[in-house]
Amino acid sequence: MNRRSFIGGTLGLYAGAALPMSYDWTEKADDRIEMTLATGLVTIKLYPDLAPNHVNRIRSLVRAKFYDGVPFHRVVDGFMAQTGDPRKKSDVDFVSLPKLAAEFNSLAFERGTVGMARSRNPHSACHQFFITFSEAAFLDRRYTAVGKVTSGMELIDKLRRGAPDTGTVVNPDVIRSIRMATVKEA
């Protein structure tokens, strides 16, 4: 082996070692969901390694078409948009769904983070989720983060805002559908 080959090979090893590990390299089809709004498509990447029980709940509800026709009922300007309350749908049995134990994790609440809504009880998340408009570090490790919006955040930005005191939206935007995304083979 000559010196040039050795140096080139060594640099190649260092360059390869410096490449960051990307979760996307092993992304599975059920790690992404596609939410259709009247204004377009929002893609959300789920993190089952950080919140396995919550992500599994979302996956099962998406497959059951639970979120179809459900409004963004609470939208607080500069903070978040919340959905998943199926009370507007008579064909949904959401009362029998068990509450989930908190799975607080390292995923920061910043623009586009998807988290599970809950009551004051940290172990009360069930089916509602929210998407943050901006950084909300006060939620970090206090609410279960389950994913990130990877495309279509500008559509979330355009959702109708609620009342300043409660965030309750009078004429809310509705989720047309949410489906598991399909991974296109290269």
Residues 140-157: what's their mean pLDDT?
99
Question: Tokens 């998943």 label which residue?
Answer: 84
pTM exceeds 0.85, yes or no: no
Can you spell out the DSSP letters for 60-106? HHHHTTTTTT-B--EEETTTEEEE--GGG-TT---TTSPPB-----S
| pLDDT of 18 | 39
Least confident range of 15-24, 119-128, 147-156, 161-170: 15-24
| Pairwise CA distance, residues 184 & 38, whole Å | 24
Q: What angle do CA 99, 105, 111 make, to 5 degrees?
A: 100
Closest by CA position to 58, among listed 69, 50, 43, 48: 48
Task: Work out the pLDDT band at 104, boundaries 50, 70, 90.
Answer: very high
21-36 burial code (b ≥16 CB/10 A, e <16)? eeeeeeeeebbbbbbb
| pLDDT of 19 | 36
- How do residues 66-94 score in pLDDT, each as one tens digit? 999 999 999 999 999 999 987 755 565 66
Residues 95-124: what's their mean pLDDT?
95
Q: What angle do CA 118, 85, 53 make, to 5 degrees?
A: 50
How would you class 97 by CB atoms within 10 Å of its CB: exposed for 0-12, middle for 13-18, buried for 19 or more? middle
All structural domains of the chain = 23-180 (2.40.100.10)
| pLDDT of 97 | 85
| Pairwise CA distance, residues 121 & 34, whole Å | 29
Q: Token pair for residue 13?
A: 């090893």
| pLDDT of 149 | 99
| Pairwise CA distance, residues 180 & 186, whole Å | 19
Q: Token pair for residue 129?
A: 């989720």
| Pairwise CA distance, residues 129 & 72, whole Å | 10
